[in-house]
């Protein structure tokens, strides 16, 4: 997925002995994807990493559940009004929209995770609308802040330590994995020079070596169920690692937007790919420069895609009535487009200050009761003229 990183001590070849100065053997752990054919990371532990006991681990994870059949309609959810569960991030997610490929949730974590968590079902992508903190993993600590995407690979043991102040994150649980779009990579996997970001735009972990926080419990999510384990010693016992599977942060403002002679479709804003989904970043930029250009997005019927937009800040050229923290959901099957007046008003504009995350999904999204509780009931009719 990304370039190979190396931290701490690793032997000169994989699957050979690594010993400390006293001759003590270290234990290799290979974190592989797609069986043994995909990207991988090899870590070196003080102790066998697979020695866990079954244990009961309490948690407050909320799995998404759909509402009874609802009319096909454009929807608007105000996440700033969502139920603030608070507590640790592992318990804090409030699912809003979901399908077989992803679950979109919001969370307002207020405490550090008291246990380690590993999502065996999904790669995770967070967008930090407000707040920041530290993601702690055996590979190292990852610092993140407002306007960052934070990626946690499937199967990566971790805990979140939110910083001071309010936290408001969007969570995308990507059940078929996440990757950097193929069109931005060359044949070696390196980001192309004409990609909208480069390897230097990503923030990596700071490796800390073995440490003991006193935490021994691990919660694992697998097959939509939760499983508890306990370690006798700290699982944060790495002396070194190398590979291409690791968490990272990507500041959304590092995405280099493009403008065209006329309006470019969302694929140009594609930032992360996933099974059945494309995650796009809309960042402040100059707009289309044909003398007769209409910079506002054209009305469209993307017959294969549901579209959700998380509005972060700025002035949205095509929308009225949405604000920071809003989520719009425009389902496939019925066309969507700009709000009345915005199409015409965009003519002659030179730039947009909008900051938003868009997700196009191939499968229809279902809403949860938590989403319905923060729904703007007038949104569907807000597209009628007058």
- Residue ranges in contact with Fe ion by CB under 5 A: 307
Closest distance to Fe ion from the beta carbon of 18 (Å): 51
Residue 295 makes CB contacts below 8 A (sequence gap 6+) with 263, 287, 288, 317, 346, 347, 349, 352
**Of 91 and 307, which has the nearer Cβ to Fe ion?**
307
Closest distance to Fe ion from the beta carbon of 4 (Å): 37
**Of 10 and 308, which has the nearer Cβ to Fe ion?**
308
**Of 147 and 307, which has the nearer Cβ to Fe ion?**
307
Contact of 129 with 230, CB cutoff 8 Å: no
Nearest Cα residue to 157 out of 136, 183, 126, 186: 136
Which tokens belong to 147?
A: 């306007």
**What is d(CA 178, CA 191) in angstroms, rounded to the nearest whole number?**
16
Residue nearest to Fe ion (CB): 307
Closest distance to Fe ion from the beta carbon of 287 (Å): 16
Q: Which residue has the tokens 């993307």?
A: 302
**Of 124 and 307, which has the nearer Cβ to Fe ion?**
307
Closest distance to Fe ion from the beta carbon of 171 (Å): 22
Closest distance to Fe ion from the beta carbon of 358 (Å): 8
Closest distance to Fe ion from the beta carbon of 266 (Å): 7
**Of 171 and 318, which has the nearer Cβ to Fe ion?**
318
Which 3 state secondary structure label does DSSP give 369? helix
**What is d(CA 213, CA 327) in angstroms, rounded to the nearest whole number?**
37
**Of 148 and 307, which has the nearer Cβ to Fe ion?**
307
Nearest Cα residue to 348 out of 287, 284, 283, 260: 287
């Amino acid at each position: 997925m990304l370039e190979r990183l190396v931290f701490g001590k690793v032997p000169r070849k994989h699957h050979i002995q690594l010993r400390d100065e006293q001759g003590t053997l270290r234990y290799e752990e290979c974190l592989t994807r797609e069986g043994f054919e995909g990207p991988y990371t090899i870590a070196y532990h003080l102790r066998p990493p697979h020695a866990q006991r079954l244990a009961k681990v309490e948690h407050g994870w909320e799995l998404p559940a759909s509402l009874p059949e609802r009319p096909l309609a454009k929807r608007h959810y105000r996440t700033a009004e969502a139920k603030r569960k608070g507590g640790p991030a592992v318990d804090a997610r409030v699912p809003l929209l979901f399908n077989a490929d992803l679950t979109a949730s919001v969370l307002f974590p207020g405490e550090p995770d008291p246990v380690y968590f590993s999502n065996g079902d999904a790669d995770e992508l967070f967008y930090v609308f407000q707040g920041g903190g530290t993601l702690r993993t055996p590979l190292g600590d990852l610092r993140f802040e407002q306007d960052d995407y934070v990626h946690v690979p499937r199967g990566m043991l971790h805990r979140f330590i939110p910083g001071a102040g309010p936290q408001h994150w969007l969570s995308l649980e990507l059940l078929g994995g996440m990757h950097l779009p193929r069109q931005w990579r060359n044949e070696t996997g390196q980001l192309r020079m004409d990609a909208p970001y480069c390897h230097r735009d990503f923030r990596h972990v700071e490796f800390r070596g073995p440490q003991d926080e006193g935490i021994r419990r691990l919660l694992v999510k697998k097959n939509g169920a939760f499983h508890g384990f306990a370690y006798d010693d700290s699982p944060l016992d790495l002396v070194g690692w190398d590979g291409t599977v690791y968490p990272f942060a990507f500041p959304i403002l590092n995405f280099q937007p493009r403008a065209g002679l006329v309006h470019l479709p969302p694929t140009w804003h594609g930032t992360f790919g996933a099974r059945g989904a494309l995650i796009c970043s809309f960042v402040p930029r100059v707009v289309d420069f044909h003398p007769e250009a209409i910079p506002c997005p054209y009305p469209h019927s993307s017959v294969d895609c549901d579209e959700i937009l998380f509005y972060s800040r700025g002035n949205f050229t095509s929308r009225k009535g949405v604000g920071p923290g809003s989520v719009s959901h425009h389902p496939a099957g019925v066309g969507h487009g700009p709000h009345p007046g915005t199409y015409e008003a965009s003519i002659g504009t030179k730039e947009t200050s909008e900051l938003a995350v868009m997700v196009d999904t191939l499968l229809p999204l279902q809403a949860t009761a938590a989403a319905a509780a923060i729904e703007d009931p007038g949104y569907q009719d807000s597209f009628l003229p007058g």
